[in-house]
Chain A
Amino acid sequence: MSAELDLNLRDQAAAVAAGEVSPSELLEAALARIEARNPALNAVAETFPERSREMVAAAPDGPLHGVPVVIKDEWPLPWRAQRFGAAELMAPTAPGESGPYRALRDAGATIVGVGNMHELGAGSTGAVSHYGPCRNPWDTERCPGGSSSGPAASVAARLVGGAVGADGVGSVRFPAAYCGLTGLKPTFGRSAMEGHHMAPVTTTIVSGPLCADAADCRLLGSVLCGEELTAGDAAGLRIGVVRDAVSEDVTPAVRDACEAAIETLRTETGGEIHEVWLPDLEAAALAAILVINGESLGGTTPERLNRLHPEISPVARGTLKYRMLLPAAATVQASRVRTMMRRRLAALFEQVDVLAWPTVPAPAPPLEAPLVELPSGTLTADQANVRGSGLANLTGAPAISVPVGLSAERLPIALQLQGGWGRDELLLDAAEALERANGRRWVESRPPLAEAETTEA
């Protein structure tokens, strides 16, 4: 029955609906595949077979009836508090019915496991976690991307057809890019967030789907948003291209693949390419970091910092303490930059429908040393990646990462499309147009780890 796990999410749902496979069979196949493949990946931090079987037994009819999915270690489940990839959180947590849990349950899905993640959500690589580093199915010595590392690696390795991540400064889009998936960061406030320990205060974090392609993201995204993300077309798409570090300070392979994809998208949609001016992108990225840092400081006291769990990583320990020294003036300035960028974006979206630039400037770096070589020099992956991601979180606008190629080392390359507020559907339409135009070549590419066992009985 494991062959069904090689189907896309929507085709798994269709196979269940047609009676070709039962929800129980699909669940047991997913558990078996996790047991077989996860030791090489560390993508799934925990399974709970009896709880999953209970979900199968109680599953209502719904768009994901009987389909196994993985959820990031960022939301409580009725039987498990979120751990945020860390030995402890700075916020109180408890088991409970989070928004994404309810959305999945009510859609009939089976939560088969909790996905690993970068410790405290504070990294774009997935290299640091209380559960140990997660590994990229395309090359297990490489970073899977973070902080939704486990959800992405789970889908790329075909442990499941879809997974739920969270994106505060790019944490759905980075792992989608590194793992060759499609990942949607919905418009702020549109997708389920209840139960997240920062839900009452965050202005940047959203839940979002990680899937093999745009149609699956539409399906899982609709479940998370509680409304149909209706399919349309992207005819006459006006594509804005920014000539800045986000598109220029990237590896030649990334630049070539993304430029080719933008031209392909223009041709497929009968659209237009506009070079647009959007200054201060790096300031916007820093502002996004400062906003999320400030919002996560609630309840942080010197006394609390002096009794951190001994298994909190040295990097997180130092960073948590350093945050206490960030000047309030910078946070206020970040707020002003947010307003400035929201207005600039709103003006730009009068001229274009989407902005396009590489999701990340280089393919997945080694876990051992997450550095990237760019025209400007050697940077940490975190430094380089956030430049192109923070704008969407800072402004609240939606963005999507779509696979557009493989490097010479056979590592995925991805293009990011950012749209206007509430135009999540258009991003999915554009991603599907791109898939059509390139013959679904990249969304159907599979990592060696997933290819190796596709013939298993």
Chain B
Amino acid sequence: MESAAPADEFIPAGLASLGIDVDETDLAVIAAVHRFFWPAIVGLLALDTSEVEPERCSDLSKAPQ
């Protein structure tokens, strides 16, 4: 699983490219959140869901068709 190390470049560059201002406190918080979320997101993306047939117009109040 990929570490969160590239965050030092990815986060400030990504936010700057969107025109989002950040200060040191923002970056410290974001780095902590990123350390928690990013490995899990990478893991999620690696999950093989190719066999999952999309549920069209799902009604979440009921069991899937």
| A interface residues, Cβ below 8 angstroms from B | 187-190, 203, 280, 282-283, 286-287, 290, 302-303, 305-306, 314-315, 317-319, 321-322, 324-327, 329-330, 333-334, 336-340, 342-343, 345-346, 349, 380, 383, 395-396, 420-422
Contacts and interface: CB of A to CB of B under 8 A. Distances in A.
Contact of A305 (B20, B29, B36): B20
B63 A314 contact: no
Contacts of B53: 339
Nearest to B61: A189
Contact of B44 (A189, A303, A337, A380): A337
Contact of B45 (A189, A280, A329, A396): A329
A395 B60 contact: yes
B29 A314 contact: yes
A330 B30 CA distance: 18
B44 to A, nearest CB: 5
Given A287-B44, A324-B18, A421-B63, 5 more contacts: A187-B61, A303-B19, A318-B25, A322-B11, A339-B54
A317 B44 contact: no
A333 B49 contact: yes
A322 B60 contact: no
Nearest to B62: A421
B53 to A, nearest CB: 8
Nearest to A398: B61
Interface of B: 10-11, 14-15, 18-22, 25-30, 32-34, 36-37, 40-41, 43-45, 47, 49, 52-55, 58, 60-64
Contact of A318 (B18, B30, B58): B30
Most A C-beta atoms less than 10 A away, residue of B32, B62, B64: B64
Given A314-B29, A346-B64, A339 B45 contact: no
Contacts of B61: 187-190, 396, 421-422
Contact of B33 (A188, A318, A340): A318
- Shortest 5 CB-CB contacts between residues of A and residues of B: A318-B29, A396-B60, A189-B61, A336-B49, A188-B60
Contacts of A189: 60-61
B35 to A, nearest CB: 11
Given A339-B58, A340-B52, A343-B64, A383 B36 contact: yes
22 contacts: A188-B61, A283-B43, A302-B18, A306-B21, A318-B30, A321-B30, A322-B33, A324-B14, A324-B18, A324-B20, A325-B10, A326-B41, A336-B49, A336-B54, A337-B49, A339-B54, A340-B49, A340-B52, A342-B64, A346-B63, A421-B61, A422-B62
A315 B20 contact: no
Contact of A342 (B25, B29, B37, B55): B55
A107 to B, nearest CB: 22
Contacts of A322: 11, 29-30, 33-34, 37
B50 to A, nearest CB: 9
Nearest to A279: B47
Nearest to A329: B45
Contacts of A324: 14-15, 18, 20
A318 B41 contact: no
A343 B53 CA distance: 10
Contacts of B63: 342, 345-346, 349, 420-421
Contacts of A420: 63
B14 A325 contact: yes
A286 B28 CA distance: 22
Nearest to B26: A318
Contact of A321 (B22, B37, B41): B22
A371 to B, nearest CB: 13
Contact of A203 (B10, B21, B60): B60
A190 B60 CA distance: 10
A126 B52 CA distance: 37
A280 B33 contact: no
A167 to B, nearest CB: 13
Nearest to A313: B29
A249 to B, nearest CB: 15
Contacts of A187: 61
Given A314-B25, A319-B33, A325 B11 contact: yes
Nearest to B13: A325
A330 B33 contact: no
Most B C-beta atoms less than 10 A away, residue of A188, A189, A305, A395: A305
Contacts of B26: 314, 317-318, 321
B8 to A, nearest CB: 14
B7 to A, nearest CB: 10
A337 B43 CA distance: 12
B41 A286 contact: yes
B45 A330 contact: yes
A119 B43 CA distance: 28
A40 B14 CA distance: 43
